[in-house]
């Protein structure tokens, strides 16, 4: 083929609505860019100079090839959040878990096939806090000719919610690690890269969403913020929820959604109101006494033909502690569970695990005086995860000893009143501990928030699997009473779930994907502090149940 024909084909294969291609090629150049968000200038890390980064489009069953080229001074890796990566853990992306980072000047081709998934996901950097600006949408359309299980929308719009700091985010987290205290909260939120008029920058108008009267739109909403769950609503318009985390749900109408970092929500909105301008608002949800950037970011829904000076119909975002508003949304979510899209909930449990998630305190001689000789950490079952300096998946595949151990505890080492008064000793242990699972075993995992320092909602993300959220409650999980109320018929299927503040949530999954799979809080500050662990899933029988060999260009440590 002529090289220009080849380029044309490669470019066409980025738009699956136009042509049928089984392989989608993308090139991600990680570069710096000057940005003037919030009126002041700073240099940010981007993919291809875009913030948010480029949208990846593919169809179910396609293979996606993304060459990530590192042109910046930082180590980089990219995670395809929610992609199952069946047997292709090498392409999952979390630095030092499945791969060594792509170092300055190096590049790596992520190569994965999308199996049994369709909907909206996101991709983001998975090293330090680089995902604050290195992120974007990943859209999986149904197979060619397969309709959505809901009315076909007139148009689709990607809505990426983000969080913005005036300072460099690496400086923000490094300052916190040195002091032992919590990092500075963000200065604003963004919708598709715009902080909106409330940030008081005359040059920064909010994002505009044009709509035509009578038409229905599919909003693919993504929370790419680092540390904050967000409410999202549109003045005067209900949202019909049809999918979360690339799994269809039973459609329902609601006026406000809540979305945690790493989660996605597909919502239909019909422009059936009086033509005009309507405010779109995203604001933080934090049902605990923890400081948040409680600024609201706004955009506008514009009916075509509306005069630019027409007034905007306003809406008040819920206050940060509007737990009931969040619960209305969360408890409405059910898997579609149709004949075509059944909810395959594991009905038996091989591993029944109970993990406490929360904060802790550890001595620190070098921290600032304000930290009183200690620093804040986070843990699962009292283990603060220590990041290795060599990738766990490689260590597993090549049988390299000394990188990790497989003694992660399946239960808390010490029972206490998790949602009540914490124990006097808030110290944790540390280590690079994994929990080992046999191929295709079934897992029930109860995640219990601890009130240590403060009860808090932790959006916990599992790599390599979707799970079913079979139960949820406030207070301490009761292993005798609570399972009786589990929904094992049509629970919502996701990859990231909020553990309620001072409460618990129960998930089930089938360990049908060999590899090393990260489980962590998707509030980046908690991940940094150690609220993370990994599952090691053994190979099954034969090559179809085994991890593929590592690619030749896999980065080295």
Query: Which are the contacts of 238, defined by CB distance < 8 A and separation ≥ 6?
Result: 253, 254, 255, 269
Q: CA 256 to CA 267: how far, in whole Å?
A: 11
Q: CA 510 to CA 348: how far, in whole Å?
A: 10
> Least distance to ligand NAG from the beta carbon of 522, Å?
20
Our finding on whether 532 is near Cu ion (CB under 5 A) is no
> Least distance to ligand NAG from the beta carbon of 145, Å?
25
For ligand NAG, the nearest residue by Cβ is: 167
The two beta strands, 467-474 and 493-494, are antiparallel
Binding interface with ligand NAG (CB under 6 A): 34, 41, 65, 75, 88, 100-101, 103, 109, 111, 167, 171-172, 175, 184, 198-200, 238, 253, 255, 291-292, 294-295, 319-321, 346, 371-372, 382, 386, 413-414, 416, 423, 425, 427-430, 440, 442, 548, 557
Our finding on whether 519 is near Cu ion (CB under 5 A) is no
Residue closer to ligand NAG, measured from CB, 253 or 405: 253
> Least distance to ligand NAG from the beta carbon of 44, Å?
10
* Phi, psi for residue 14 in degrees, rounded to 5: -85, -10
**Which three-class secondary structure state does DSSP give residue 146?**
coil
Name which of ligand NAG, Cu ion, none residue 521 binds, using a CB cut-off of 5 to 8 Å depending on partner kind.
Answer: Cu ion
Site for Cu ion in 429-458 (CB under 5 A): 458
Per-residue HEC secondary structure of 351-364 comes to EEEEEEEEEEEEEC
- 430, β-bridge pairs: 384
Our finding on whether 526 is near Cu ion (CB under 5 A) is yes
> Least distance to Cu ion from the beta carbon of 159, Å?
24
> Least distance to ligand NAG from the beta carbon of 115, Å?
11
Query: Which are the contacts of 556, defined by CB distance < 8 A and separation ≥ 6?
Result: 100
The two beta strands, 63-70 and 23-35, are parallel
> Least distance to Cu ion from the beta carbon of 173, Å?
15
* Phi, psi for residue 177 in degrees, rounded to 5: -65, -35
Residue closer to ligand NAG, measured from CB, 29 or 238: 238
Our finding on whether 520 is near Cu ion (CB under 5 A) is no
Residue closer to Cu ion, measured from CB, 375 or 458: 458
Residue closer to ligand NAG, measured from CB, 55 or 501: 501
The closest alpha carbon to 52, from 279, 224, 292, belongs to 224
Residue closer to ligand NAG, measured from CB, 158 or 531: 531
The two beta strands, 119-125 and 277-285, are unpaired
Enumerate binding residues for Cu ion (CB under 5 A).
458, 521, 523, 526
């Amino acid at each position: 083929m002529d090289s220009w024909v080849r380029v044309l084909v490669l470019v066409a294969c980025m738009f699956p609505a136009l042509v049928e291609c089984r392989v989608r090629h993308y090139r991600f150049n990680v570069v710096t860019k000057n940005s003037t968000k919030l009126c002041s200038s700073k240099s940010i890390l981007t993919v291809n100079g875009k913030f948010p980064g480029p949208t990846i489009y593919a169809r179910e069953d396609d293979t996606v090839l993304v060459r990530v080229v590192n042109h910046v001074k930082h180590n980089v890796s990219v995670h395809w959040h929610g992609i199952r990566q069946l047997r292709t853990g090498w392409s999952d992306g979390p630095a030092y878990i499945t791969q060594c980072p792509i170092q300055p000047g190096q590049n790596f081709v992520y190569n994965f096939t999308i199996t049994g998934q369709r909907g909206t996901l996101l991709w983001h950097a998975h090293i330090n806090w680089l995902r604050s600006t290195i992120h974007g949408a990943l859209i999986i359309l149904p197979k060619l000719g397969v309709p959505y299980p809901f009315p076909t929308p007139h148009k689709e719009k990607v809505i990426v919610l983000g969080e913005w700091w005036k300072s460099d985010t690496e400086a923000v987290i490094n300052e916190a690690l040195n002091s032992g205290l919590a990092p500075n909260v963000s200065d604003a939120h963004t919708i598709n890269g715009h902080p909106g008029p409330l940030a008081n920058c005359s040059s920064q108008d909010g994002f505009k969403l044009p709509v035509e009267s009578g038409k229905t739109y599919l909003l693919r909403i993504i929370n790419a913020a680092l540390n904050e769950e967000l409410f999202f609503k549109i003045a005067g318009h209900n949202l019909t929820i049809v999918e979360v985390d690339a799994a269809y749900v039973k459609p329902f109408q609601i006026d406000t959604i809540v979305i945690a970092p790493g989660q996605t929500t597909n919502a239909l909105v019909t422009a059936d109101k009086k033509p005009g301008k309507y405010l779109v608002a995203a604001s933080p949800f934090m049902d605990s006494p923890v400081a948040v950037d409680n600024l609201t970011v706004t955009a506008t829904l514009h009916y075509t033909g509306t005069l630019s000076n027409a007034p905007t119909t306003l809406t008040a975002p819920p206050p940060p502690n509007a737990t009931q508003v969040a619960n209305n949304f969360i408890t409405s979510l059910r898997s579609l569970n149709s004949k075509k899209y059944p909810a395959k909930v594991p009905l038996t449990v091989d591993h029944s695990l109970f993990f406490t998630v929360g904060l802790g305190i550890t001595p620190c001689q070098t921290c600032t005086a304000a930290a009183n000789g200690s620093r804040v950490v986070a843990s699962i079952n009292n283990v603060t995860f220590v990041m290795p300096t060599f990738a766990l998946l490689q260590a597993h595949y090549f049988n390299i000893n000394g990188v990790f151990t497989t003694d992660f505890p399946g239960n808390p080492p010490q029972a206490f009143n998790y949602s009540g008064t914490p124990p006097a000793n808030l110290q944790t242990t540390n280590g690079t501990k994994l929990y080992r699972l046999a191929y295709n075993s079934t897992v029930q995992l109860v995640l219990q928030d601890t009130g240590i320092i403060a009860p808090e909602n932790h959006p916990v993300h599992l790599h390599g699997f979707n799970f079913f959220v079979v139960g949820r409650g406030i207070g301490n999980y009761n292993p005798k009473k609570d399972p009786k109320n589990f929904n094992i018929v049509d629970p919502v299927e996701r990859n990231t779930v909020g553990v309620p503040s001072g409460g618990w949530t129960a998930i089930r999954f089938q360990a049908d994907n060999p590899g090393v799979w990260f489980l962590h809080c998707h509030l980046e500050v908690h991940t940094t502090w150690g609220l993370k662990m990994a599952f090691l899933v053994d190979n099954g029988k034969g090559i179809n149940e085994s991890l593929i060999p590592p690619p030749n260009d896999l980065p080295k440590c």
